[in-house]
Amino acid sequence: MPNSSSHQRHRVRHKQRRTAVAPTRPVTLHRLLEGSSFDDALDYLEDQALEDLDANVDFVELPGSRALFVHAQEPARPAEWCAQASITTGIDVRYATRGAGGLLIFQLDGDVYALGYGKGHLWLSDAVKDPRFGLHYAIRSVDADQILDVVRRLPGARGRTDSTLVPGGTTVWQLGIERHAEIVRRIGGLVENSSLTFARARGRSVKVAGACGLHLRLGVKPADLVSDVREIAAVCLRQVPHPDLAFVENVTPVTSQALIADLNTQLDTLLGEVTPAVDRLTVTVPDAALPHLADAHGFAVRIGSATRRLTDLHREDVLDRTRLQPPGRRIDGLRAGWIGLLAEDTGTRSLGRSSALKWIEATASVGPRRFFLLEGQWYEFGATYLEEVRDYIGGLLNRGAPTLDLPAWRPDMKEKDYNLYVADVRRSQYLCLDRRGVTTRLHRTHGVEICDLLGPNDELIHVKRASGSPPLSHLFAQGQVAAETLINSPEARRSFSKLVGTAGRGRTIPEDFTPKKIVYAILLKNGEALTPDTLFPFSQVALRQASISLRGKTEVEIIPIHLAQPGP
């Protein structure tokens, strides 16, 4: 007995030493559009969602915040599966189900936010949500080497939405996003060194997903919730995007009212045509509806005065209604109308709805400029392309002193002479493999020239003296093809290992060799310095493409070759 009592007292003391962990819960936080007022909070609720509910509205206390909580329980209804189950089994099955939800709306430091409980998130009107809030936070906080999921769209691809999931996390570059051809709509990943309640309490990174809303774990206690939202607001306000994620915000929204009017005129015409081109007008799923699409069994469409329930949604289901609208009023008809997701075949339960205009993707042109309608907003495509290419190349060219010491190029030398010269004067470091290719089943005739020089640490060095853009563009593409061939082809690796072994000088590489670094060694024009100002524009595009393609597979370095001064 004494032993048992002693053991019991020990267990009690152990429990008393444990520190309670601050509770958190996964939520989707929305920030309302700038200019939204807490005093008008009830006007931001969907009338359709609440018309059958006897909702309760309570003002609540949050530290430093004005807040109200709308909560309600749905009327009981027969479970939607009962009728079908009765037919299949012959058993009279009758069960009722009812849902409930809450929506917390609060004003904090001048901004208005909302988060839902249960079905409460369906009550907030899509029209008042800040469409970029979650994405704005994510690209400023997520570790670019720990991306968990990405949702992106390709303009003109008939409404296609691509979703990539990587449970273990990956770098943004390994996702293969074409920065100037795709629009990123959602990014999920891990946030390190955060002050959010979950990170403080658990000592772990925080998993977030940002799109229109921001999905993450927030504190449950009032003080913790307010602290977390203030932390999020501070990141959005003060932090710049991660350099590898900054491109997400580079799609340029159109602000010129005259230009918007021109684009809307083109769209209005498309909405009235019998068969508009599919690459110019199609239907898609807006961001807000994507999380609920898998649970939907149908669609409700209201454009004009009629509401239709459909099993599937096609372009013609929208155009049949817009053609009936007067010219010049078709966009207004879409904006005032809506398309919603239905939870069951009977169409009695909604999973949320959005303005019909947000279900439309369209492209338009004004002269050489291309524009894209996404979620009801016009964007110019490629407006910052050349500027971003220039910035990217500047980053490649300004990484510090070159890691290789290449001799100066004498004016009388041709390229093959220079490569032989390097291998001669740096005999123990460089091996000349110029014009010596490896053959594979894909490259039988001429083979693939893997490099001009093999460097001291087995760098693949590609050498060029160039006075124009085509030779350099070819050089960059050649380096990319050579590296990817070695990375992807066992046959090429074996052949290259054999080539190095038979080239003399005692150099060998293993049969499973893959390159750790690609070096582009360039003598530009008459020995000019390599800068974004001196490198030819088309060559910059080719270099950027090659570098992005190889990122995550092998390092890319650009090294200038100096022109030797003529002797006396």
Helix (H) or strand (E) holding 27: strand 24-31
Query: Does position 4 have pLDDT exceeding 60, yes or no?
Result: no
Which tens digits make up the pLDDT trace of 24-77? Answer: 999 999 999 999 999 999 999 987 666 777 889 999 999 999 999 999 998 888
Q: Residue 179 has what pLDDT?
A: 67
Q: pLDDT-derived band of residue 356, with 50, 70 and 90 as boundaries? A: very high
Between 216 and 9, residue with greater pLDDT: 216
% of the chain residues with pLDDT over 90: 49
C-alpha pair distances (Å), 85 with each of 80, 82, 99, 161, 426: 10, 5, 21, 35, 82
State mean pLDDT over 333-360.
Answer: 86
Which tens digits make up the pLDDT trace of 462-476? Answer: 999 987 777 888 899
When mean pLDDT is compared over 142-151, 177-186, 374-383, 529-538, the highest value belongs to: 142-151
Distance, CA of 63 to CA of 226 (rounded, Å) = 7
Distance, CA of 398 to CA of 238 (rounded, Å) = 27
Query: Does position 322 have pLDDT exceeding 90, yes or no?
Result: yes
Q: Residue 13 has what pLDDT?
A: 41
When mean pLDDT is compared over 163-177, 225-239, 330-344, the highest value belongs to: 225-239
Nearest to residue 501, comparing CAs of 493, 509, 491?
509
In order, the DSSP letters of 197-255 are: HHHHHH-S-EEEEESSSEEEEEESSHHHHHHHHHHHHHHHHHPPPPTTTGGGG-SEEP-
Query: Does position 142 have pLDDT exceeding 50, yes or no?
Result: yes
Q: Which two tokens stand for residue 243?
A: 């350099």
Q: Residue 16 has what pLDDT?
A: 42
Q: pLDDT-derived band of residue 5, with 50, 70 and 90 as boundaries? A: very low
Residue 532 carries which DSSP code? T
Query: Does position 499 have pLDDT exceeding 60, yes or no?
Result: yes
Which tens digits make up the pLDDT trace of 62-108? Answer: 999 999 999 999 888 888 889 889 999 999 999 998 889 999 999 99
- The lowest-confidence range among 12-16, 175-179, 260-264, 509-513 is 12-16
Tracing tokens 């189900």 back to the chain, one arrives at 97
Q: pLDDT-derived band of residue 17, with 50, 70 and 90 as boundaries? A: very low
Which tens digits make up the pLDDT trace of 533-549? Answer: 888 877 888 888 888 88
Q: Are strands 206-210 and 183-191 parallel, antiparallel or unpaired?
A: antiparallel
CB 260 within 8 A of CB 378: yes
Q: pLDDT-derived band of residue 203, with 50, 70 and 90 as boundaries? A: confident
- The lowest-confidence range among 219-228, 381-390, 452-461, 559-568 is 381-390
Which tens digits make up the pLDDT trace of 372-389? Answer: 898 888 988 776 677 778
% of the chain residues with pLDDT over 70: 91
Between 47 and 446, residue with greater pLDDT: 47
Between 280 and 521, residue with greater pLDDT: 521
Q: Residue 7 has what pLDDT?
A: 38
Query: Does position 3 have pLDDT exceeding 70, yes or no?
Result: no
Distance, CA of 291 to CA of 149 (rounded, Å) = 13
Residue 41 carries which DSSP code? G
Q: Residue 18 has what pLDDT?
A: 43
Q: Residue 428 has what pLDDT?
A: 87
pLDDT, mean over the chain: 86
Which tens digits make up the pLDDT trace of 292-319? Answer: 888 888 999 999 888 999 999 999 999 9
CB 70 within 8 A of CB 57: yes
